[in-house]
Amino acid sequence: MMTTANWCVFAAILMPYVCFGIARNRARALRDNRNPRDFPNRIQGLPKRAWDAHLNAFESLPGFAAAVIIAQLARAPQIWVDALALMWVLVRAAYVAFYLTDRSTLRTSAQFASLACVLGLFVVAGSA
């Protein structure tokens, strides 16, 4: 059964690609399919921030996905798993928005809030 938490993992998997799309579309003139790995070295401003958000989305994904899976395997109360997973997605969406708009203090706060959600998932798993 697909729970809200499972759909949140799906959303988390898509998040890096949304950020990548923003970076690629905003720096369309700098794309070179013959040398795609050099793209991040040639961009700046909003496209660069979108690229960095893209990388961070990939970095945060494994811990979140593992926490959701572990909490569900531990039979933690699904209402808590769903709530923490949904909060993680919302906070990560805010993180991306803060990254794109160059609000570094709010971005850092969102990063810590998303980590708190992951830790919360482990706490509810351990309490189950």
Residue pLDDT tens, the chain, 128 long: 899 999 999 999 999 999 999 998 877 667 667 777 777 888 899 999 999 999 999 999 999 999 999 999 999 999 999 999 999 999 999 999 999 999 999 999 999 999 999 999 999 999 98
For residue 71, what is the enclosing H or E element?
A: helix 46-73
4-127: CATH topology is Four Helix Bundle (Hemerythrin (Met), subunit A) (1.20.120)
For residue 16, what is the enclosing H or E element?
A: helix 4-26
Residue 14 neighbours by CB distance under 10 Å: 10
Domain ranges of the chain: 4-127
User: In the block, which residue shows the tokens 């399919």?
Assistant: 33
